[in-house]
A and B are shown apart, each in its own frame.
Chain A
Amino acid sequence: EDQVTQSPEALRLQEGESSSLNCSYTVSGLRGLFWYRQDPGKGPEFLFTLYSAGEEKEKERLKATLTKKESFLHITAPKPEDSATYLCAVQLGGATNKLIFGTGTLLAVQP
C-alpha cells in the first residue's frame, strides 16, 4: 500500500535553532515529491518539487533533499514567521497524477 509518513508530528524550536523534518515513503512508483507549507485556516502553499534521489532545492531558510526512501526539509536559523504545518506529498506514476499526503509536521518557532 502506498504510504507517506512524516515525523515528528510537532516540533518546537527557538529562533535560530536549526533542525530537520522527515518524510518517508513507500510507493509503487514515484513521479515526484512535493513539500507544502500550510498556515492555519489556509490552503497548502507549494514550496518544492524533487524528482530524483540526490536532488536538492533551496529557498531562503529552507532546503529540501531526497533519497530513495525519504526526504528531509532542513530549516536553518528559523524565524517565528516560519511557524506553520509542513506537508509532504508523493505523486504517483500513471495517468492520475495523484498526490498522497503525509499528516504533516506542526512547526512552532519561538522568539
Chain B
Amino acid sequence: NAGVTQTPKFRVLKTGQSMTLLCAQDMNHEYMYWYRQDPGMGLRLIHYSVGEGTTAKGEVPDGYNVSRLKKQNFLLGLESAAPSQTSVYFCASSYPPNTEAFFGQGTRLTVV
C-alpha cells in the first residue's frame, strides 16, 4: 500500500520556468490538498479538491494552478516560477468527514 506518492522529490528551476508536481493516492480518498512548508510559517494550504473534477483555492493560491482529472491524482502547476516559490511542497489526502489527512514525502523545490 503506497499511500500518497509525490513526484518528483527534488527539483531546481530557473526563474520563469514552468513545472508540474504530481500527487497520486491509492486509498480512494475524496479530498486532496496541496500545502507548502516554509521555515517559521508552518504548513499553508495552496489549493484543495473535494472530489474528481473539483478544485478550490486555499490560503496562498497565487502563482499556482491545479487539476483533478482523476480521483487518484492531483496536479500542482507553476506556470512561471519565482524565487518566492522555493519551498517544500506536500500533498495530502483524506476521506471525510472528520478523518485524518495522509501526507506524501514532499517535493523540495528550489527556484534560482
Contact = CB atoms under 8 A, between A and B. Distances in A.
Q: Answer whether A and B are interacting partners.
A: yes
Interface residues of A, number: 25
Contacts of B98: 31-32, 49, 51, 91
A103 B42 contact: yes
A101 B50 contact: no
B34 interface: no
A98 B58 CA distance: 8
A45 B97 contact: no
B106 A101 contact: no
B31 to A, nearest CB: 6
Contacts of B104: 43
Contacts of A34: 100-101
Contacts of B96: 97
Contact of B102 (A46, A49, A98, A100): A46
Contact of B56 (A36, A87, A96): A96
Interface of A: 31-32, 34, 36, 41-46, 49, 51, 87, 89, 91, 95-104
6 contacts: A36-B103, A42-B106, A43-B103, A96-B48, A99-B33, A99-B43
